[in-house]
Amino acid sequence: MVFEQCISISLIIVNLISIVICLYQYVKRPCKTFAFAVVFFLANFLSNYYWGIYLFVMDDYPNVSSFFAYFGWNFAFLVLPAMLHSLHHYGDVKFFSWISLIPIPINIIQLLLYIKYGGIFNNVWQVFFTTVASCMCLNSIVFYVKHRSTGVRLPYVSVIVLLYIFFEYAMWTSSCFSWRSEVINPYNYASIFDIICYFLLPFAIIKYYSIDGDNNSVEYVSKISGYLYTALVLVICFSGYFLAVWMRNTLSSSIDLLDEQSDPYKIIAVILFIIALFIVLFSVAVIFVVRVMQKSDESKRAVMEKTVAERASHAKSDFLANMSHEIRTPINAVLGMNEMILQDSLRFRDVSHLDESEAKSAFRDICRYSGDIDSAGKSLLSIINDILDFSKIEAGRMEVVNADYKLSQVLNDVYNIISFRALAKDLKFDIKIGKSVPDGLYGDSVRIRQVLINLLNNSVKYTKRGSVILSVNAYIRDVSEDNEIWDMIFSIEDTGIGIKQEDIDKLFDKFERVDLANNSSVEGTGLGLVIVKNLLDMMNGNVSVQSTYGQGSVFTVVLPQVVKSKELVGDFRAKSEQSIDSLKSKAEILYAPDAHILVVDDTHVNLTVVKGLLKNTGINIDTVDNGDDAIRMSEKNKYDIILMDSRMPVMDGTTAMNLIKSDEGNPNVNVPFICLTADAVDGARERYIADGFTDYLVKPMNSDALKSMLMRYLEKERV
């Protein structure tokens, strides 16, 4: 009896552990299998508890009806097939193997053997459900064996359940026979293994589902609630035990005890059953509450996700509508102004009948129209650049290219661009440099310039009157053996329309334009700040905003940069004007009447543009519109430079260049080849140079860029 008592108490303990584990797992990841496992263990607990405690306290089996005795266990057997069914093995739902029917005849034999002991109803019930469960287990094991090479996961749960059923049968069968000694009684060993299966089952389910990862990271009940539940259940269990002991003592001292017929101890079993039932109902209530919390949380999350998705999709469709508007506006200006130039040119074709003032006015008009075309073209280009940059960022292809640079140069470029725009709106614009800002830095000056221009452009765009000020400061951040890293602080302050507090969080979302009621007439894509934020992220910097609606905003950029020279930025304008002016003036006064260049482009307008931009340079320009003609011309003439479009039908620029270079008799074997291309993506320059081009000019090009390029490659005596 002592051994059986130990087994019963161990069974209760393991049963409780399994309930807690499965319940915890179910809360963590609400999959059906854990729910069924909880019900399975709770149902078993219903019988195990009163049976085990009664045995422990009374040193005897409870004398109750077989329905009452087996109620919990029978319910657990009913749950087993449902639990197995919920596992969703890959494809084995449709799979069937005859091998899986092996348990049927074995179980029938067992049933016939055991039927006289446990009653017909109980035995048929138990054998029926365990047979179904064991057939299912065997089926999924056979399925695994046949398909394991295709990545089918091992049916851990089926293996454990099959073993569990096997040991249950072993217990039942061995109890039908009498054994000479307890040591050889298989019942004892089977019951130990049965407990081990109890213990392993929750881990088998965890192992089975661990492959999917934790699909629900939200902890609906904290660990403390888990401990509380466990503690409460333990307290109730112990109370049941003490109550049973107290009842036994009380009943045994009472006089009516001798009435053997009515078994007064039966009440202890009933009370213990009620306590176990209370624990079961309490646990079911916990599951129910958790499920309700999960459902409401899931629906809240779904609503939130839907709102976010709707906002993103709205922003995207607004973006497309806005883009169409933003692109059409400058195109409209370009085409409209150009038509006016055409009309005026036709009208004034015969200038002989115009007096001087009429002629001057006509040319002034044409100048104004072409100025408008210039600004519309530039705004179109900036939109396209924004879209290209944004798509590069989205595709993860945006790169940071670090090099030594002068901050004064960057600030000067920024000043030139922004002061012009601020002036057009009558805004005061200034750049204030802190005392200790170093000039020689190492970083990506192109992207830093882009960030500053973007933020300053916004300030100018969203400010009707007042000022836009860029302040630059720097503070040392980190000193290592080779480097000093400084935090460069750029703060852009305007007296513009400001941003509402609730809109500030949306600013850096893609396609988001805020406060449209007030700034719908201001052109923009809603991409500028996203690009700024992403570029700064890539350079380990950050941007923050402070704004008072109606009064103005301050955008602050903090960007760590390696300092290469401690020379101060000081009067940045004077400094960089020297270098820029010398370059510019050289480009502007380029005059090389002895120079002879070849321009190859399949688009005739582009040939006209190059010729027009170089009109006053005196350079002799040959133009052809395909690679074949370029080769033919290069065989006849010696050129100083060949400008070659990269993408042309029939023969592309690279092939034509390589054919010229590989023909030793060609006088242009060593001539500089400049690639003309609209391919402005990252790495294009490196690619063209690797292909053999000497340098690279990106379209649309302006006269400064073109002339500077020619200056660089023309021999000195030609200029």
Q: Which residues of the chain form contacts with ligand ADP (CB under 6 A)?
A: 458-459, 462, 494, 496-499, 507, 513-515, 519, 524-530, 553
The nearer residue to ligand ADP, 175 or 556, going by C-beta atoms, is 556
Query: How far apart are CB 337 and ligand ADP at their closest, in Å?
Result: 24
Q: Taking a C-beta distance cutoff of 8 angstroms, is the pair 135, 100 a contact?
A: yes
| CA 509 to each of CA 87, 308, 310, 312, 525: distance values in angstroms, whole numbers, following the listed order | 42, 11, 14, 9, 12
Q: What gap in Å lies between CA 703 and CA 136, rounded to an integer? A: 81
- Name residue, tokens 């370059």: 583
Q: Which two tokens stand for residue 285?
A: 């209530």
The least CB distance from residue 468 to ligand ADP, in Å, is 8
Nearer to ligand ADP, 134 or 553 (CB): 553
* Residue 458: CB minimum distance to ligand ADP, A: 3
CB-wise, 35 or 492, nearer to ligand ADP?
492
Cα–Cα dist 431/25, whole Å: 61
Angle of CA points 689, 599, 710, to nearest 5°: 65
What letter does residue 170 receive in the DSSP assignment?
H
CB of 529 to ligand ADP, least distance (A): 3
Q: Which is nearer to ligand ADP, 29 or 461 (CB)?
A: 461
Question: In sequence order, what are the residues at sequence separation of 6 or more whose Cβ sits closer than 8 angstroms to the Cβ of residue 612?
Answer: none
Contact 517, 530 (CB under 8 A): no
Q: Closer CB to ligand ADP, residue 509 or residue 629?
A: 509
Task: Give the count of beta carbons closer than 10 Å to the beta carbon of residue 528.
Answer: 23
Residue nearer to ligand ADP on the CB measure, 513 or 575:
513
Whether the CB-CB separation of 480 and 497 falls below 8 Å is answered with no
Tell me if 139 sits within 8 A of 98, measured CB to CB. Answer: no
- In the bound state with ligand ADP, the residue whose beta carbon lies nearer, of 515 and 682, is 515
State the minimum distance, in angstroms, from the CB of residue 450 to ligand ADP. Answer: 12
Decide whether 30 or 528 has the Cβ nearer to ligand ADP.
Answer: 528
Contacts of 68 (CB under 8 A, 6+ apart): 273
Shortest approach of ligand ADP to residue 459 CB, angstroms?
Answer: 4
Minimum distance of ligand ADP from residue 322's CB (angstroms): 8
d(CA 307, CA 335): 41
- Rounded least distance, CB 428 to ligand ADP, Å: 15
- For residue 490, the minimal CB distance to ligand ADP (Å) is 14
For the chain, the straight-line distance linking the first and the last C-alpha, in angstroms and rounded, comes to 115
Q: Which residues contact 662 (CB under 8 A, 6 or more apart)?
A: none
Q: Quick one: 515 or 602, whose CB is closer to ligand ADP?
A: 515
User: Nearest Cα to 442, choosing from 404, 396, 399, 386?
Assistant: 404
